[in-house]
């Protein structure tokens, strides 16, 4: 006979395991907070913008602008290439490889925009700004030799604010996720324990199990009362 579970059964199970549903999410919340605030290293981001345009003496046409936009994808690849990053590592005397520096840098541009955004993530906000600005300047200088063009200008250099905020970790988000995951784990564990528990917990459950109506209930007698009756 197929056993069905009603909403009342679900709520009864959750009620019986209420302590579990409170403790596990709280433990997950506390652990996530401790890890986010004390173990994970804060990462800061600094960005500079590069403008791809024509030289000042040229008459800019719509075709020139389209050409600049089309070449931006090539510029994005060049910025993160060893031809540029090797010079940045040497210029700043960085204690990292070119590939490691590459992993810290991201380059992006909006559709139909001549502006390229160069962003750097680093544990030190000042180092992030320094790497971003140096990379932009090195690219501006080397692009003349690499592509025989002079159409790159630094639009806005990266700066360090007085009180920089890390982009990650995000303790609030991490703790919220941990709370939800902890609650889901607690609910799953509650139903697992309920499934593995062979005891009969209510008169209704006994009626379902035997398929017979309940005629009466024998009350519990505490030990003290039983002792008095024997004497």
Q: DSSP readout, 51-70? A: EE---TTSPP-HHHHHHHHH
What is the pLDDT, as a whole number, of residue 39? Answer: 95
Residue 35 has pLDDT above 60, yes or no: yes
Domain boundaries, the chain: 7-39+170-214, 44-156
Give the start-end residues of each E strand in 151-209: 152-156
Q: Report the pLDDT averaged over residues 144-149.
A: 86
* Residue 61: C-alpha distances to residues 6, 58, 65 (Å): 72, 9, 7
**Which is it for the CA torsion 55, 56, 59, 64, positive or negative?**
positive
Distance separating alpha carbons of residues 75 and 113, to the nearest angstrom:
13
Mean pLDDT of 53-82: 73
Q: With bands split at pLDDT 50, 70 and 90, how would you rate the model's confidence at 172?
A: very high
Residue 1 has pLDDT above 50, yes or no: no
In CATH, which superfamily holds the domain spanning 44-156?
EIF_2_alpha (3.30.70.1130)
**Residue 73 token pair:** 């994808």
Nearest to 130 by CA among 151, 152, 106, 160: 160
pTM: 0.72
Count of residues in the chain? 231
pLDDT at 16: 86
Q: Which of 179, 182, 180, 205 is nearest to 13 (CA)?
A: 205
Rounded Cα distance between 112 and 96, Å, is 35
Grouping H, G, I as helix, E, B as strand and the rest as coil, residue 227 is helix
d(CA 32, CA 174): 6
How many other CB atoms sit within 10 Å of the CB of residue 188?
Answer: 11
């Amino acid at each position: 006979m197929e056993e069905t579970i009603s909403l009342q059964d679900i709520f009864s199970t959750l009620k019986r395991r209420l302590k579990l549903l409170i403790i596990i999410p709280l433990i997950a919340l506390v652990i996530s907070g401790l890890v986010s605030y004390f173990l994970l290293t804060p990462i800061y981001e600094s960005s500079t913008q590069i403008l791809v345009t024509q030289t000042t003496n040229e008459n800019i046409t719509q075709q020139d602008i389209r050409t600049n936009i089309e070449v931006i994808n090539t510029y994005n690849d060049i910025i993160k290439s060893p031809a540029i990053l090797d010079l940045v590592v040497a210029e700043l005397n960085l204690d990292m490889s070119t590939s490691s520096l590459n992993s810290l840098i991201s380059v992006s541009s909006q559709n139909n925009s001549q502006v390229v955004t160069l962003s750097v993530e680093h544990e030190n906000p000042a180092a992030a700004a320094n790497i971003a600005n140096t990379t932009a300047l090195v690219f501006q200088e080397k692009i003349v030799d690499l592509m025989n063009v002079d159409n790159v200008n630094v639009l806005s250099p990266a700066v360090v604010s007085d009180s920089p905020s890390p982009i990650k970790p995000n303790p609030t988000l991490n703790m919220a996720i941990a709370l939800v995951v902890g609650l889901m784990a607690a609910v799953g564990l509650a139903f697992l324990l309920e499934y593995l528990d062979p005891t009969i917990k209510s008169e209704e459950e006994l009626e379902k199990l035997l398929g017979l109506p309940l005629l009466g209930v024998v009350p519990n007698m505490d030990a003290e009362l039983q002792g008095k009756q024997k004497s």
